[in-house]
Structure 1
Amino acid sequence: MNVLIANRRKKVFGIEQDGKSLTLEQIKTFYLKNDLEKVILSLVSKGYLKEEKGKYGPVCGNMSFEVFKFLDPDSISITLTSSDPHRLGIVTNNKPRKITPRECARLQGFNDDFRLHPDDDSAYKQLGNSVSVPIVKSVLLDYFKHNFQDFILTDPA
């Protein structure tokens, strides 16, 4: 899905529409593995792609946002940076969508009561420029444990 999304806007496939549906032959120009038909059929059966007149495209049409990467809910997330959180996608109910600022906050380990900037663009930057809360906590606890032998350290959480 990521490969299709990243390549379908290329001018080589035409300039008549934004985010074109592509034929198998067009997809084969950038998807170089031998399992293309199997992958396409799987994405169609899951409802991620649709086929119309021999062309394949995402179920949600031309997608109103540019996607950098689709996240796998069963895998580890990529690192959030200030330039990309608003371009991360996920599939929910068989439809691609971008992740929300609150979901970005959860990926960074912030509690749901953490106040985000009210403007989504600013919130995405806020979270992309932040650090992962559980990692900072773990590093600090380890630092105190190994540098202050007489200091009684308990995990406040």
Structure 2
Amino acid sequence: EGESLAHAILEMKSNQIQPDNSGPLYATFSANLMHTAPMAHNSCPYFRWTGTKGELVIPGNGLNPDGGGGLLLYDDKFPNGVPLIQTENRQGAFFLGYKGVWEVMMDILKRNDREAALKTVSEALKDVATALAIYQSSESREWVNVQCINANSSID
């Protein structure tokens, strides 16, 4: 793997949220653009945050139609992990968000639906802005605020 698959380890340093003398915060970020590519998804989850008191993990391969993935907490109390988001509260796994994307785009183009096209581009731009914030956070070694990117806002 390499940067072409957007696999990176990020080092953040922010004394505002970390205990004194705790050292930097390390996070890993992986994004495989081909959902069918063979990867050890379960042994190397897509997102893993490791802190001084535990670890948060988004597990699985992202293809489970029941909203698989979720969020697991590993700490002293739950050394084998505990789900923080119950299955019935999930909206679908992250790779399933791309299921049928080309068919939807073709339908939008056939209908010449300008509003739907703008909404699609706006949502895609939010994804790009989030990815950019991750890289900016890595460079500055502090988390970049992305509160302006949410489901109710649009990026012009």
Instruction: Report the TM range for the smaller structure's normalisation.
Output: under 0.3
Normalised by the length of structure 2, the TM-score is 0.27
Structure with the largest fraction of helix: 1
Q: Between Structure 1 and Structure 2, whose CA radius of gyration is higher?
A: 1
Give the TM-score taking structure 1 as reference length. 0.27
